Amino acid sequence: MKILAIGGCGSMGRYAMRVAQHYSSIDKIIIADIDKEAAGTFARSLNQKVSAIQLDVNDASALKKAMEDIDIVVNTCGPYFRFGAPILATAISSGCNYVDICDDWEPTIDMMRLDAKAKSAGVSATIGLGASPGLTNLMALIAIRELDEVTTVYTGWDIGGTSLDENAMQQSENAAMMHGVEQMTGQVKIFQDGVFKMVKPLQKINVDYPGLTNFNGNIFGHPEAVTFPNYFPTLKDSINLAHGGHADFFILKSIMGLVNLRLLTKLRAANLFALLEGKQSPKKGSKGVDYPPVMYGFAHGIKNGMSASVGVCIPSDTEDSDMNEQIKNIGMGEITGIPLACGIKMLAEGHINQVGVLAPEAGHIEPHGFISDVFEEISKVLGLPIGSLGDSIEITRSW
């Protein structure tokens, strides 16, 4: 299999490529980036399968040419609200299978509209196969499958639970931070009371998570909110949430308020977030057993005729102190890029074969096996014994 990794030397893509280079099902990886020197330097740090080209994705003819003879297009070129739909459309017209880590809801809607074209072309395109979306969708899918009927889905994560790597911190326009600003300002789309709505982000939503004290999540614009209703017709509510300490959200809301008042540009806000991220000291000590999970999927509905809920998560704290330290060592790059690598492997080996434009929860990915593969690869990256993170997912039920 021949892979075109657009943005593959970036702060997220490089983690996926470091893992994917070792898959026997992959014969060649081409790292494509507008910065040819950065792409070449990164490619030379990997094995002999990997090479590099310069590619400006704004050049439609160059983008089309780069996809000639390619089996799988891997897109980590952000921000996705600019580059998601055009790159996917080109992949479909080129007959290339596709996978990305799109975490913006607007282009997710645009890309889902390409489903019929992808089916007609025989292309399998999985969008949003990172951490959130990605692992969160699959954790929520596990939760949903334990119920007889689902009415509510929340996906969520601790906004201070992971950190950016040095490469991301040094970028003049950090795509991850720009994404955050976009999804915490203006209005975002959620599914509530059986209809799609545009609402102000960062509003509080109470989460009655089984096994934990009730906690508040804050609405954060994300693809999960808009994709789940496509697959689960009984849903009444689908919302993505972020949580954190009171100080975290006081700072967030203050900065976002300045952006909404047009007293601060989105780019300046993103750079300010990156600066604050770089100055934060690592969070030490136990957060307590009732602290919301690092990352979770939550489903509420009906089980055996009764109201019921299920939570599937990466917990903030476990009884195993060594496990807690291992989880804290997982950065944003690993937890986002490694699921992407596992998706590449599944495509290359034919384990993902459903055509169309698909969100992770569409049913074409077996969630338990996929999550196990992700944590096995993370174990390797962190230099841990295989299987040491095998119990990282925790399932709790209301019954």
Please give the backbone phi and psi of residue 134, each rounded to the nearest 5 degrees, phi first.
135, -95
Residues 6+ apart with CB under 8 A from 150: 144, 232, 234, 235, 299, 300, 301
pLDDT tens readout for residues 43-62: 999 999 999 999 999 999 99
Query: pLDDT for 202-227, tens place per residue?
Result: 899 999 999 999 999 999 999 999 99
- Inform me whether the pLDDT recorded for 390 exceeds 80: no
The token pair at 291 is: 């602290």
pLDDT, tens digit (0-9, with 9 covering 90-100), for 149-167: 999 999 999 876 554 454 4
Whose tokens are 């000291």? That residue is: 281
Quick one: tokens of 168? 């991301």
pLDDT at position 172 is 41
Greater confidence (32 vs 176) lies with 32
Question: Which range, of 131-145, 170-184, 240-254, averages the lowest pLDDT?
Answer: 170-184
Neighbour count for residue 49 (Cβ, 10 Å): 18
Range(s) within the chain of domains with CATH label 3.30.360:
135-326
Predicted confidence at residue 171, as pLDDT, reads 45
pLDDT of residue 287: 57
Token pair recorded at residue 183? 């999804």
C-alpha span between 341 and 346 (Å, rounded): 9
Q: d(Cα 367, Cα 390) in Å, to the nearest integer?
A: 14
pLDDT tens for each residue of 339-387: 999 999 999 999 999 999 999 999 999 999 999 999 999 888 888 777 7
State yes or no: cis peptide before 133, omega within 30 of 0. Answer: yes
Q: How confident is the model at residue 283 (pLDDT cuts 50, 70, 90)?
A: very low
95: how many CB neighbours lie within 10 A of its CB? 12
Which of 1.25.40.10, 3.40.50.720, 1.10.10.60, 3.40.50.300 would CATH assign to domain 2-130+333-395? 3.40.50.720
| pLDDT for res 161 | 56
* Range with the largest mean pLDDT of 107-116, 179-188, 389-398: 107-116
Beta carbons within 8 Å of 9's beta carbon, 6+ residues apart:
17, 31, 33, 35, 38, 39, 41, 42, 43, 52
Nearest to 96 by CA among 77, 81, 117: 117
CB atoms within 10 A of CB 268: 14
For the cut 70, the answer to whether the pLDDT of residue 245 exceeds it is: no
- Checking if the pLDDT of 305 tops 80, the result is yes
228's enclosing H/E stretch is helix 224-231
Global pTM reads: 0.88
- Strand pairing of 124-126 and 215-219? unpaired
Residue-level pLDDT at 169: 40
Query: Mind listing the pLDDT tens digit for each residue in 79-105?
Result: 888 899 999 999 999 999 999 999 999
**Token output for 134:** 């990605």
Mean pLDDT across the chain, nearest whole number?
87
For 222, half-sphere exposure in the C-beta direction (CA atoms, 13 angstrom radius) is 29
For range 190-195, the mean pLDDT: 98
CA 344 to chain centre: 14
- CATH 3.40.50.720 domain range(s) in the chain: 2-130+333-395
Class of the CATH-defined domain 135-326? alpha beta
Query: What average pLDDT does the segment 64-82 reach?
Result: 94
Is the peptide bond between 293 and the residue preceding it cis, with omega within 30 degrees of 0? no
Per-residue pLDDT tens digits for 5-51? 999 999 899 999 999 999 999 999 999 999 999 999 999 999 999 99
In the prediction, which pLDDT does 239 show? 98
Which pLDDT score, from 0 to 100, does residue 170 have? 44
**Which of the two residues, 266 and 88, has the higher pLDDT score?**
88
Q: Assess whether pLDDT exceeds 90 at residue 124.
A: yes
